[in-house]
Amino acid sequence: MKSKIQQPRSNPNLIKIGLTLTITTFIIVFALNSCGNSSSSNNSIKVSASTLWSDYKNDRDYARKKYDNELVEVSGKITNWMNGQPYFVFEENDNGIHTSDKSGVRCFMGGIEAMNRARAKKAAKNGDWVKLRGTCKGWDGDDVIVKDCRYVD
């Protein structure tokens, strides 16, 4: 007589546990990677205020494609705090030559720095070179607008 070889029985509960652990691990790894990338300075476009302003002034289509709604890290010399608002107007070019005190790159402070204007204004004064990271909102007719800015070390 031939004996039948019995197949091992699969336990449905073990399969469910293994599948749940695999999916959970995948979700956690994906979430950690997403969180790390969104705040990383490696994802920002590093640009001087003069280059950002000149790009929009000279070729708006090119500038829109490159900068609009992108995270930018803007560096430059502060020329003005306008109307006591928590934003900077950077000069047109790094050599101190600009056509108007009212045109340039306006960086609106965001988060805690926007709530405490006095502290932000003490941290940087006219003539200081600073670096800010925020979202470029494009050309408003006179200026390039960058919102939700934070100081960068």
**How does 86-123 read in b/e, with b if 16+ C-beta sit within 10 Å?**
bbbbbbbbeeeebeeeebbbbbbbbeebbeeeeebeee
CB 84 within 8 A of CB 130: no
Please report, in tens digits, the pLDDT of each residue of the chain (153 residues total).
Answer: 566 666 666 677 777 887 787 887 767 765 555 444 334 446 899 999 889 988 998 999 999 999 999 999 998 888 777 655 546 666 555 455 454 556 788 888 776 655 555 455 556 777 788 888 999 999 998 889 999 888 887
What is the model's pTM?
A: 0.63
49-58 and 60-67 helices, crossing angle to 10°: 130
Question: Number of C-alpha atoms within 13 angstroms, CB side, residue 20?
Answer: 6
Joined together, the tokens standing for residue 127 give 């003539």
The pLDDT assigned to 122 comes to 59
